[in-house]
Amino acid sequence: MIQNTLLENDILGSIGSEKYICHIVWRNGTLIMDEPKNIGGQDSGPDPYTTLLASLAGCTLSTLRMYIDRKGWDIPEISVRMNMRQETENGLTTIIKRDIYFPQTKIMEIQQNDDTIKGMFYVEKEGLIMAEMTYVWVGKGKIIIDHTEVGESLKGMGPENKWSVKL
């Protein structure tokens, strides 16, 4: 079986004797990666965690832009805010937090009902639920989204892009 690589050239990384400074060569140049000064680096480039989150942010934004353009929706801007943390309760677990914003999308009121076991975000118009996202709580600050639906009259207007959960 023939396997093609995703990149036209391999990524080449190297480190010398200068503490933590890595040179990463990619198709258009060299990226310097380093660690912050508080752990012995010189902070002369992004650290590996920042680079990982930047890659995920770029992938998220590009994928959303492709999908939005394909659907013909009027969403001029998308923003992503990301961070990560590590927990050591049952081994090492890395949790990545990603918030997606559509700052210039048409305004509509998204309401929420929550009974601490399950809940929903929804858009109501003239007494009818026009869009909804339901979820169940599975732990402190954790939910599972189990259903989303947007009525035909709201498709492309933004409710499917505005769900934001603050846990």
Q: What gap in Å lies between CA 46 and CA 86, rounded to an integer? A: 19
62 lies in the same domain as 83: yes
128 lies in the same domain as 152: yes
Q: What is the pLDDT of residues 57-77, one digit of tens each?
A: 999 999 999 988 888 877 888
Please, what sign has the CA dihedral across residues 98, 78, 58, 144? positive
123 lies in the same domain as 90: no
96 lies in the same domain as 132: no
Domain contains 112: yes
CATH number of the domain to which 143 belongs:
3.40.630.30
User: What is the predicted pLDDT for the residue at 167?
Assistant: 41
Domain contains 162: no
The domain containing residue 4 runs over which residues?
1-45
Domain contains 163: no
52 lies in the same domain as 70: yes
User: What is the predicted pLDDT for the residue at 66?
Assistant: 93
Domain contains 10: yes
Residue 166 in this model has a pLDDT that exceeds 60? no
Q: What's the structural domain count of the chain? A: 3
52 lies in the same domain as 97: yes
Domain contains 126: yes
Domain contains 166: no
User: What is the predicted pLDDT for the residue at 43?
Assistant: 96
Q: What is the pLDDT of residues 5-57, one digit of tens each?
A: 888 899 999 999 999 999 999 999 999 999 999 999 999 999 999 999 999 99
Q: What gap in Å lies between CA 16 and CA 32, rounded to an integer? A: 12
Domain contains 127: yes
Q: What is the pLDDT of residues 87-146, one digit of tens each?
A: 998 899 998 988 888 876 555 677 788 888 888 888 887 788 888 888 888 887 788 888
Residue 158 in this model has a pLDDT that exceeds 70? no
Residue 105, beta-bridge partner list: none
Q: Using an 8 Å Cβ cutoff, are 13 and 22 in contact?
A: yes
41 lies in the same domain as 29: yes
Domain contains 144: yes
Q: Using an 8 Å Cβ cutoff, are 45 and 60 in contact?
A: no
93 lies in the same domain as 129: no
Amino acid identity, residue 22? C
User: What is the predicted pLDDT for the residue at 139?
Assistant: 82
